[in-house]
Structure 1
Amino acid sequence: MKWSEMCIHTTNEAIEPISNILHELGASGVVIEDPLDLVVEKDAMFGEIFELDAKDYPEEGVYIKAYLPFNSFLGETVEEIKQAINNLIMFDIDLGPNQISLSEVNEEDWATAWKKYYKPVQISDKITITPTWEEYTPKSSNEIVIELDPGMAFGTGTHPTTVLSIRALEKYISGQETVIDVGCGSGVLSIASALLGAEEIYAYDLDEIAVKSTQLNAKVNKVNPSIHTKQNNLLNNVDIKADIIVSNILAEIIVRFIKEAWENLVDGGYFITSGIIQAKQQIVLDQLEEQGFEIIEINELEDWVSVVAKKK
C-alpha cells in the first residue's frame, strides 16, 4: 500500500492543535521534527538518548509530518486539513510559514522508519518513558517505567509540556489521591498518576481516538483498573471531587474551564496546567487568580510553561 507524507512547516506553538487535527482527519502516525532537539542542552541527569540527523530539520520552526492513505479521497482530505489548520488563526495561534508539501512513500518504508525517532527517555527523577518495542532495563528499583506506543497515541510523552506535567504530578502525588486528567491524549499523565500512587484517575478527552489510546496504553502498563476513561468535552457535566486536576492543552482552552476545575477540586487541591507558551502565561495566571486560586509554582522548559495552582 502507498501512503502520502504530508509535511507542514509551522511553529512550536502550533504542534499540539495541528497534531490533533491530523489525528482526527485520519492520519496514521505523526512525526515532529523540531530543530531545538538538535541544539538544546538536554538534562544530563536524566540520560536521554537521541539518534537525530540535522538534515531532517528546518532552520526555523518545526516540521509536522503525517501519513495519509494514498486513495481517491486524498485530495479532499488534504484540503480539509488545510482548512482546519487555517482556522486555528481564529484562536490566535501563530502558524508561522504554514507551508504544506506532499510526497509519496511505500508502506514498508514508513512502517519502520519513524521508529528511529523514539528511544527510552528518563524525564523526571522517577519516571522513564519507553516505546513498547524497545528493550529497557530499569536502572534502579525506584524507577517507574511507562510503556507507550506512539503509533496509536499522540506522541511519546517526551514533549516539554508533558515532561513539565509529569514532574509536577511526581511532586504533588503522595498516594491515594483522586486525579482528573482533562484532555488525556495518549493517557500518559493518567498512567503516570496511577504508577505514582493515585487511587482513582478520571481521564477525559473530546477525541474518541484519544480515549481509546488511553485505554490501550493503560492496559499495556497494567493500570487500567484505576483509570476511568470517557469521551467528554473538558469538565462539562463532571461532578467529581478531585485532589488534583491536570491538563496539558492550549492556554486558550485552559481558561475556558477554570471555574469548573475550581468546583471539582477539594479545598487545598491542586490544578496543574501545561501546554502554555510563554507569551500566553499571563492570561492563564490572571484567570486562575481571578477565580481564587493561589499560584504555587511556575516552571519553564524550552519555550513552554507549566503552572501549579492551589484551591485556597
Structure 2
Amino acid sequence: MIWSEICIQTTNEAIDPISNILHEHGTNGIAIEDPADLSKERETFFGEVYDLDPADYPADGVYIKAYLSENTYLDKTVDAIKRAINQLQQYGIDLGRNQVTISDINEEDWATAWKKYYKPVKISDKITIIPTWESYQPTSGDEVIIELDPGMAFGTGTHATTVQSIQAIEQYIRKQDVVLDVGCGSGVLSIAAGLLGAGDVHAFDLDDVAVKSTKINAELNQINNKITASQNHLLHDVALRADMVVANILADIIVRLAGDAWNVLKSDGIFIASGIIKDKQQLVQDTLQDTGFRILEVNKMEDWISIVAKKTPNESGA
C-alpha cells in the first residue's frame, strides 16, 4: 500500500498544536525531526536514538511528519490541514517557515524502518517508557515500565512537555489519589499516575481518537481497571473531586482551564500544567495566582516550561 507523507517545516513551539491537528484529520503516526537531537548529549544506557543522519533534518526549525492513506479525499484533507495550521497564528503560535510538502512512501518500508530510532527511555527516577516491540529488563526493583506504541497517538511519550509532567506526577502523587488528565492524548500521563499509585484516574480529550488510544494503552499496561477515558471539552461539566489535575496542553488553554481546575480540586490539591512556551510563562503564572493557586515549582526543559501549583487550603467548600 502507498501512503502519502505530509511534512511540515515549523517551530518547536508549534509541535504540539500541529500534532493535534494532524491527529484530528486522521493521520497515522507522527515523527518529529529536530536538529537539536543531533547535538544533544545522552547517557547511552537510556538508548534513546542512534545513527542520526544530519541530512534528514532541517537547517532551521523542525520537521513534523505524518501519514495519510491515498484516497480520493487526499487533496481536500491536506488543504484542511493547511488551513487549520494557518489558523494557529491567531493564537500567537509562531509557525516559522510553515512549509508543507507531500511525498509518497511504501507502507512496507515505513512500517519497519522508523522503529530503529526508538528505544527504551528512562524519563524520571522511576519511570521508563518502552516501545511495544522492544525487550527490556528493569534495572531496579522499583522501576516502573510504561509500554507505548508510538503509532497510536501523540508520539513516544518522551517529548519534553510529557517528561516534565511525568516527573511532577512522580514527585507529588499520593497513594489512592484521584487524578484528572486533561487532554490525555495517548494516555501516557494517566498510565503514569495509575502505575505510581493513583486510585482512580479520569482521562479527558475532545478527540475521540485520543480517547480510544488511551483505552488501548491502558489495557496494554494492564491498568485499564484504574483509568476511565472519555470524550470531553477540558473540564466542562465535570463534577468529580480530584487530588491532582494534569494538563499537558497549550498555555492559552491552561489559562482558560485554571478556574475549572480550581473548582474540581480538593483543598491542597495539585495542578500540574505543562506545554508552556517561555513567552506565555508569566501569563500562566499570573492566572494561576489570581485564581488562588500557590506556585510550588516552575521548571524548564529545552524550550518548555511546566508549573506545579497547589490549591490553597482556606477556600470554602474544600
**For residues 2 and 45 of structure 2, what CA distance do their matches in structure 1 show?**
39
Q: Could you tell me whether the CA contact under 8 Å between 1:46 and 1:124 is conserved in 2?
A: no
Question: SS state of the match for residue 225, structure 1?
Answer: coil
Are residue 187 (structure 1) and residue 187 (structure 2) matched?
yes
Instruction: Give the Cα–Cα distance (whole angstroms) in 1 for the partners of residues 185 and 45 of structure 2.
Output: 24
Q: How does 1:152-167 map to 2 (within 5 A)?
A: 152-167=152-167
Gaps of 5+ in 1: none
Structure 2 equivalent of residue 258 of structure 1: 258
Residue aligning to 2:48: 49
User: Are the aligned partners of 2:46 and 2:120 in contact in 1 as well (CA < 8 Å)?
Assistant: no
Distance 1:71 1:45 in 2: 42
* 2:288 aligned partner, one-letter code: L
Paired letter, 2:142? N
- Greater Cα shift, 32-41 or 235-244: 32-41
Tell me the equivalent position of 2:302.
302
The residue type paired with residue 269 of structure 1 is: G
Identity %: 61
Which stretch shows the higher mean deviation, 26-35 or 290-299? 26-35
Aligned partners of 1:46 and 1:123 also within 8 Å: no
| 2:75 match | 75
Q: Which residue of 1 aligns with 2:109?
A: 109
Deviations 1:35-89 (Å, cap 9, x if unpaired)? 11222334x3973431222221112110001111122211111111111100111
Partner amino acid, structure 2, of 1:50: V
Query: TM-score, normalized by length of structure 2?
Result: 0.96
Question: What is the match of residue 230 of structure 2?
Answer: 230
TM-score (norm 1): 0.98
Structure 1 residues 171 and 233, CA gap change in structure 2 (3 angstroms): same
Per the alignment, residue 26 of structure 2 pairs with 26
| CA distance in 2: counterparts of 1:41 and 1:290, whole angstroms | 39
- Alpha-carbon separation, structure 1, partners of 2:142 and 2:234: 33
Offset, 1:116: 2.1
Q: Distance between the aligned counterparts of 2:5 and 2:108, measured in 1? A: 13
> Aligned runs of 1:118-197 on 2, under 5 Å?
118-197=118-197
Measure the CA separation in 1 of the matches of 2:309 and 2:122.
Answer: 26
Q: Is the 8 A contact 1:46 1:125 kept in 2?
A: no
Count the aligned residue pairs.
311
Q: Secondary structure at the match of 1:256?
A: helix
Shift, 1:105, TM fit: 0.9
State the AA in 2 paired with 1:177.
D
Alpha-carbon contact 1:183-1:204 (below 8 Å) kept: yes
Residue in 2 aligned with 1:93? Answer: 93
Q: Deviations over 1:93-117 (max 9, x none)?
A: 0000000111111111111122122
Q: Distance between the aligned counterparts of 1:98 and 1:251, measured in 2?
A: 21
The CA deviation string for residues 263-298 of structure 1, in whole angstroms up to 9 with x for no partner, is: 000001100000001111111001001001000000
Give the secondary structure class of the aligned counterpart of 2:256. coil
Read off the aligned partner of 1:25 and give its amino acid letter.
Answer: H
The DSSP-based 3-state class of the residue aligned with 1:164 is helix
Cα distance between partner residues in 2 of 1:310 and 1:45: 36
- Secondary structure of 1:245 counterpart: strand
- Structural RMSD (CA): 1.1
3-state SS, counterpart of residue 255 of structure 1: helix
CA distance in 1, matches of 2:188, 2:48: 19
Contact 1:194-1:223 at 8 Å conserved across structures:
yes
Deviations 1:111-156 (A, max 9, x none): 1122122111000000000000111111111110000011112111
Q: 1:60 corresponds to which residue?
A: 60
Distance 1:160 1:41 in 2: 15
